[in-house]
Chain A
Amino acid sequence: MATQTRQREPARRARSFEVGEPPRRAMAAGHVVIVVVVALGLGVLLNADGIRKGAETQAAGWQRDTAIALAKPLDAVSSTLLLDRPRAGLKWALGRSGDDRLRTGASFTAPEVSPPPAEPPARKPVFSAARPLRLWVAGDSLVITPGESIVRALEGTGAARAVAPVDGRISTGLERPDVFDWYAEIRRQLRRLKPNAVVLSFGGNDDHDYMSGLPKGVSIDEFGGPRWTAEYRRRVDAVMDTVARDGRVLFWIGLPITRDADQSRRFDTINRIVHDEAARRPGRVFYVDTYTLFAGADGGYAQYLPDSTGGLVKMRAGDGVHFERTGGDLIAATVLDQLRRAVVLRERTG
């Protein structure tokens, strides 16, 4: 026994890191693999709710199907062993109990509102510093930079103010109410914030042939197909009819031309639907055509565009889809022009 101890001592010294004080015990590769497997295995079970939601909310395709196939049984095991409780408890303590909730069963039904009249409103509402226009901006990630520019431009008039920070939610849209239910959110925010003007931007994540929340008996075909188009049109209609009533005006920022030609074509398909539906609601819904606004001289994608002085200004972000601040400002100027046609803004002078 004593011999064994003597033999083990030098090995233990050799396997510890004494550079820093106090020394750390070194680990063998096999043990490292065990730690990593236990950490990830148990970590997966402890986070099963979040992983399940992450799997469900992925873009449609084999990766999503595989992720769901793996996440569902893990979630069941985690729930049976009560391993989902610590995460749920922590989320509750942080006031974010709803984070991991899934809305997979939620079916999107059009709100029970009649469409607004086809004619523009007879009188333009008047807004001033004393009675400022209440503005709300929301949508997917493409709305964030233009939304901020719009808030700056409108608040700069002195006759408008944003009633909430720009609500841009990445990877959301109208196709997937299970990822984020914009229909419910829009209704909730209209009641809460009571805006006079709303700026929305959707579609950047909707160029897929997959939709959740389909009503019973409704199915869709491929992206841009007749049944896909009918269902997407129904959703756009519902949003427009929900927002553009009670004297509210809606500005819908269309999808821009992008670096990827295929994506640009798909975005154009969505733009056509939104454009047509906006045209059916004159004076109440305004379509902001960013596709042509950001096209280069040759009609294709351009990262830089000339300004009024002949200088070149970087308008688009490095990913070839999103906007730089200058691009946002260009959209804001267009929205402000359109807004001045819809309402009277008694703007601050000097």
Chain B
Amino acid sequence: MLFPTATFAIFFLLVLPTSWLLMPDMPRWRIFIIAASYVFYGWWDWRFVLLLAASTVVNQGFAVAIHRQRPGALRKWLLAVDVAFNLGVLTYFKYYDFFLSSAQNGLARLGLQLSPHLLAVTLPVGISFFTFMALSYVIDVYRGDFQPTSFVKFAAYLSFFPHVVAGPIVRARELVPQLRTPRDPRRIDASRAFFLIASGLFLKVVVANYLATHVVDEVFGTPDRYSSLDTLVAVYAYAVQIFADFCGYTNMAIGIALLLGFEFPQNFDNPYTALSLRDFWRRWHMTLSRWLRDYLYIPLGGNRKGTLRTYVNLMLVMLLGGLWHGAAWTFVVWGGIHGVGLAWEHWLADRRRARGLEAVVPSRAGRAWRRLLTFNVVCLAWIFFRSESIGEAFHIIGRLFTAWGQPSQAVSLGVLALIAVGIGGQYVPTDVFARLMSRFSRFSPVLQGAVLALALMVSSSMGPEGVAPFIYFRF
């Protein structure tokens, strides 16, 4: 079930009032929300529900077992087995064929043949997201940061439909406490919720879908037909498309959860205003960034084991973060570019510190330059993320420099306007949106409904026909 569809609208019209009616009786509410979430998730393929249920049972089992053990080797082993289970499931569905075929290709170059048996299984939607959530729960229990909750609460946490297919990656300690006590039905931050849903819908249906169908897919599909200017615009358009697609989805997810009375963490904070790659990763897919920081970077030693080890850790985290997005070398290169960039920034900062210099406070022009540079490095990495092979990515990069003489075919006013909206919108002071939400919150419910209906009509009319799949559903 996709958010911007009639099917979901009907589903939500049933779930929203029922959820609030059952809210005073939390045990019954939790059963209801698990059932609703499984219907939502099983709408793609009912077999996926079995996987989600299995993940719930196994992870809860390990969390309870780890909690009952005294610190020692057995506790460590239990954690190791649980991590192996989760990564094993992820590998089976997502990486098995990729790793085996890559090994075969390496051996073929040496003249050796493996003839491996490949699985060609369907990738269950959202598997990377709920696997990471389950892992964070068990690891937090192991670290003593969180007490295991009841099975039903854990099942509700893991399957809660607003986040189950594409995040945000919510921690158990953030959501489980909210699942314990009834939400206050008199105190819903509805204007923020509606603003997030309407903006998410606009970003996905209008901005992302328009840019995909009017420039990105064509230029990345047949780059030789397009000029350098077209290619440059397509790269920028893809940067906006992927932001609008993913931020649009998570905005809707956060808004829907808010209407049900639940607070999710923020997932995007104007990432294209970042002054550096470090800053970018504090603003882009924030729930994944902090997951990688807390469960990968810090356990690897973070920046506590010397300068060189810090760079290696950064590189490893970004390479694995890249691979998390998909089983392809293009994602690894994407992660690698970010890893090198982050290590470079750390090195520059370390060098200044070693010379006893203060951190640079950039001037206005300096800040503009840093933003431009960061955005373009991010865009360079996006070329690999979007391309179907590393060779194709280099071909696209080549086209950026070698086809300036050709006439432009893909640049239109609509494309430029939406790129401007997608990037420029991130520079609008948050106060402007806060005022809008404040004013909106003072409208009567009927007027609020009418304004939202108009927003729905505008998004639906302006977007291309049909609902394009969300990019992050593949991950």
A residues near B (Cβ < 8 Å) are 14-15, 17, 20-43, 46-47, 50-51, 54, 67, 86-87, 90-91, 94, 99, 144-145, 148, 151-152, 155-156, 162, 165-166, 170-171, 259, 301-304, 309-314, 316, 318-320, 324-326
Which of chain B's residues has its CB closest to A150's CB? B222
If A26-B186, A38-B453, A304-B118 touch, whether A310 touches B461 (CB-CB below 8 Å) is no
**Chain A min CB distance to B414 (Å):** 9
**Chain B min CB distance to A332 (Å):** 11
Tell me whether B122 and A24 are in contact (CB under 8 A): no
Tell me whether B434 and A31 are in contact (CB under 8 A): no
**Chain B min CB distance to A47 (Å):** 5
Tell me whether B221 and A27 are in contact (CB under 8 A): no
Give the chain A neighbours of B109 by CB distance below 8 A: 309, 311
Tell me whether A165 and B460 are in contact (CB under 8 A): no
The B93-112 residues at the A interface (CB cut-off 8 A) are 97-98, 100-101, 104-105, 108-109
The one of B97, B185, B449, B460 that contacts A29, using a Cβ cutoff of 8 Å: B185
**Chain B min CB distance to A167 (Å):** 11
Tell me whether A33 and B20 are in contact (CB under 8 A): yes
Give the chain B neighbours of A28 by CB distance below 8 A: 185-186, 188
**Chain A min CB distance to B197 (Å):** 9
Give the chain B neighbours of A47 by CB distance below 8 A: 456-457, 460-461
Whole-angstrom CA separation of A32 from B256 in the bound complex: 11
Query: How many B residues are at the interface, by size bracket?
Result: 35 or more
Residue B190 CB within 8 A of the other chain: yes
Residue B406 CB within 8 A of the other chain: no
If A25-B442, A27-B445, A314-B101 touch, whether A162 touches B452 (CB-CB below 8 Å) is no
Residue B465 CB within 8 A of the other chain: yes
Q: Top 8 nearest A-B pairs by Cβ distance?
A: A38-B449, A42-B453, A39-B452, A27-B190, A148-B221, A29-B185, A43-B456, A311-B105
**Chain B min CB distance to A122 (Å):** 34
Tell me whether B189 and A87 are in contact (CB under 8 A): no
Which of chain A's residues has its CB closest to B395's CB? A152
Whole-angstrom CA separation of A282 from B430 in the bound complex: 66
The one of A54, A90, A318 that contacts B458, using a Cβ cutoff of 8 Å: A90
Tell me whether A17 and B189 are in contact (CB under 8 A): yes
If A27-B190, A312-B105 touch, whether A36 touches B12 (CB-CB below 8 Å) is yes
Secondary structure class of chain B's binding surface, majority of residues: helix
Tell me whether A312 and B118 are in contact (CB under 8 A): yes
Whole-angstrom CA separation of A324 from B388 in the bound complex: 8
Tell me whether A40 and B259 are in contact (CB under 8 A): no
**Chain A min CB distance to B125 (Å):** 10
**Chain B min CB distance to A297 (Å):** 9
Whole-angstrom CA separation of A27 from B191 in the bound complex: 8
The one of B100, B120, B186, B191 that contacts A301, using a Cβ cutoff of 8 Å: B120
Give the chain B neighbours of A23 by CB distance below 8 A: 438
Whole-angstrom CA separation of A302 from B104 in the bound complex: 16
Identify the interface centre among B191, B194, B221, B466: most chain A CB within 10 Å of its CB. Answer: B221
Tell me whether B108 and A35 are in contact (CB under 8 A): no
User: What would 19 A/B residue contacts be, using CB atoms closer than 8 Å?
Assistant: A15-B187, A20-B437, A27-B445, A28-B188, A34-B449, A35-B446, A37-B13, A39-B194, A40-B453, A41-B453, A42-B449, A43-B453, A43-B456, A67-B6, A87-B461, A145-B221, A171-B466, A311-B104, A314-B101
Interface bits B218-234 vs A (CB < 8 Å: 1, else 0): 10011011000000000
Tell me whether A21 and B434 are in contact (CB under 8 A): yes
Give the chain B neighbours of A42 by CB distance below 8 A: 449-450, 453
Which of chain B's residues has its CB closest to A55's CB? B6
The B258-308 residues at the A interface (CB cut-off 8 A) are 259, 261
Residue B462 CB within 8 A of the other chain: yes
If A17-B192, A24-B192, A309-B108 touch, whether A259 touches B122 (CB-CB below 8 Å) is yes
Residue B441 CB within 8 A of the other chain: yes
**Chain A min CB distance to B121 (Å):** 9
Tell me whether B222 and A21 are in contact (CB under 8 A): no
Give the chain A neighbours of B441 by CB distance below 8 A: 24-27
**Chain B min CB distance to A24 (Å):** 4
If A40-B9, A151-B225 touch, whether A91 touches B194 (CB-CB below 8 Å) is no
The one of B20, B457, B462 that contacts A43, using a Cβ cutoff of 8 Å: B457
Whole-angstrom CA separation of A304 from B115 in the bound complex: 11
Give the chain B neighbours of A312 by CB distance below 8 A: 100-101, 104-105, 116, 118
If A43-B453, A155-B224, A310-B113 touch, whether A320 touches B12 (CB-CB below 8 Å) is no
Tell me whether B6 and A24 are in contact (CB under 8 A): no
Give the chain A neighbours of B122 by CB distance below 8 A: 259, 318-320
Whole-angstrom CA separation of A33 from B224 in the bound complex: 52
**Chain A min CB distance to B193 (Å):** 8
The one of A24, A35, A38, A304 that contacts B437, using a Cβ cutoff of 8 Å: A24
Whole-angstrom CA separation of A91 from B460 in the bound complex: 10
Whole-angstrom CA separation of A38 from B190 in the bound complex: 14
Tell me whether A29 and B188 are in contact (CB under 8 A): yes
Give the chain B neighbours of A43 by CB distance below 8 A: 452-453, 456-457, 460
Give the chain A neighbours of B450 by CB distance below 8 A: 38-39, 42
The one of B98, B116, B120, B466 that contacts A259, using a Cβ cutoff of 8 Å: B120
Give the chain A neighbours of B68 by CB distance below 8 A: none
Residue B474 CB within 8 A of the other chain: yes
**Chain A min CB distance to B430 (Å):** 8
Residue B358 CB within 8 A of the other chain: no
Tell me whether A151 and B222 are in contact (CB under 8 A): yes
Residue B145 CB within 8 A of the other chain: no
Interface bits B1-27 vs A (CB < 8 Å: 1, else 0): 000001001001100110010010000
Tell me whether B190 and A303 are in contact (CB under 8 A): no
Tell me whether B389 and A325 are in contact (CB under 8 A): yes
Give the chain A neighbours of B9 by CB distance below 8 A: 40
The one of A39, A145, A311 that contacts B449, using a Cβ cutoff of 8 Å: A39
Whole-angstrom CA separation of A91 from B224 in the bound complex: 33
Whole-angstrom CA separation of A280 from B69 in the bound complex: 76
If A46-B456, A312-B118 touch, whether A37 touches B188 (CB-CB below 8 Å) is no
Whole-angstrom CA separation of A29 from B18 in the bound complex: 11
The B206-225 residues at the A interface (CB cut-off 8 A) are 217-218, 221-222, 224-225
Interface bits B81-98 vs A (CB < 8 Å: 1, else 0): 000000000000000011
Tell me whether B448 and A35 are in contact (CB under 8 A): yes
Give the chain A neighbours of B442 by CB distance below 8 A: 25
Tell me whether A36 and B466 are in contact (CB under 8 A): no
**Chain B min CB distance to A326 (Å):** 8
